[in-house]
Amino acid sequence: MRTIVSADIGGTHARFALAEIDGGRVVRLDDPIKLQTSEHGSFQLAWEEFGRRKGIDLPPELAIAFAGPVGGEVLKLTNNPWVIRPSLMKERLGVDRFTIVNDFGAVAYAVATLPDAEFRHICGPDRPLPKTGVLSIVGPGTGLGVAALLRKPDHYEVIETEGGHVDFAPLDKLEDRILTELRRSFRRVSIERIASGRGLWNLYEALGAIEGQPLAFHDEKELWAAAIAGTDSLANAALDRLCLTLGSVAGDMALAQGSYGVVIAGGVGLRLADHLTTSGFRDRFIAKGRFERRMDDMPVKLITYAEPGLFGAAAAFAREHS
């Protein structure tokens, strides 16, 4: 049994927790400490703040879930100005051994190792996720994460991707108009511009322009609260469109990756837990022409474990350094 630090670094928050690993698996994850990335100038400063809050000398082993491409001498976050230089881990953090995985690669490690009880049914057949074959993991948060998990009888492989940055494809006349509006702000409109936390705001602004309505909200938190509560018609419409797009995207990723099941993750995914089952998510997920029957026979789950990024990063470390 040994203790490591697990970190989940995203566009908005940096989460840290101590994890206990044994025999190549995670046996315990402490309650996390969540820091605002905007309040700390670097990963090193956030690491030091975590150590101060825990009041201990941090162990020299570290697992990181990183919201950006992994590889090379300098790692740059997609929605955060921090950079991480793996070659300086020992010098700056006192870390002897580390593992760095893409943030949704970490979620895929969590999907691979968490029990069935940590998943909530969304649509498709109400059965557990298959134990062999490909699973697609799609997660709206600050951005949109995408990964794949290949399960085989005796092992599994995680495939990290940047699938959240593929082009948005409108599927009806209203989405044609939404795309036109978004192009006023973005040279290229990716699916992350819509199926994400910030995507609700982008949709709200676009629909306001299309409908000729003034915007009642100027704060994203207030907008999300109104959309989830159903107290504002324009916010409601934006949330419905977000769920439609998420359904389309999740189905597209499942087809592209040859999947037999899909897992929705991310902070926005949890926020949508009660809304997805009553929205148009399922209709868009299965609307794949000649493959509609296959899509309708695919279980779609929502991961409910509170910190899958932290758990998955620790699981990746445990597997690599067992």
- Residue carrying the six token digits 């993991």: 137
Q: How far apart are CA 301 and CA 124, in angstroms?
A: 9
The answer to whether the beta carbons of residues 19 and 40 sit under 8 Å apart is: no
3 appears as a binding residue in the annotation: no
8 appears as a binding residue in the annotation: yes
- Residue carrying the six token digits 């134990």: 131
143 appears as a binding residue in the annotation: no
The answer to whether the beta carbons of residues 107 and 136 sit under 8 Å apart is: no
318 appears as a binding residue in the annotation: no
Question: Dihedral of the CA atoms 7, 35, 204, 136 (nearest 10)?
Answer: 10
The answer to whether the beta carbons of residues 19 and 75 sit under 8 Å apart is: no
12 appears as a binding residue in the annotation: yes
Query: Six-digit token pair at 260?
Result: 């037999």
Query: Six-digit token pair at 226?
Result: 């109104």
Query: Six-digit token pair at 23?
Result: 């025999």
Q: How far apart are CA 117 and CA 53, in angstroms?
A: 32
What is the three-class DSSP state of 262?
strand
Question: In the chain, what is the straight-line distance between the N-terminal and C-terminal CA atoms, in Å?
Answer: 11
User: What are the DSSP E strand ranges found in the chain?
Assistant: 2-9, 13-22, 25-29, 33-36, 61-66, 75-76, 83-84, 97-102, 119-123, 133-140, 144-151, 156-160, 259-264, 300-303
What is the CB-side half-sphere exposure of residue 105 using CA atoms within 13 A? Answer: 23
9 appears as a binding residue in the annotation: yes
- CB neighbour burial string for 253-273, b if at least 16 within 10 angstroms, e if fewer: bbeebebbbbbbbbbbbbbbe
- For the annotated binding site, the residues are 7-12
- For the annotated binding site for ATP, the residues are 7-12
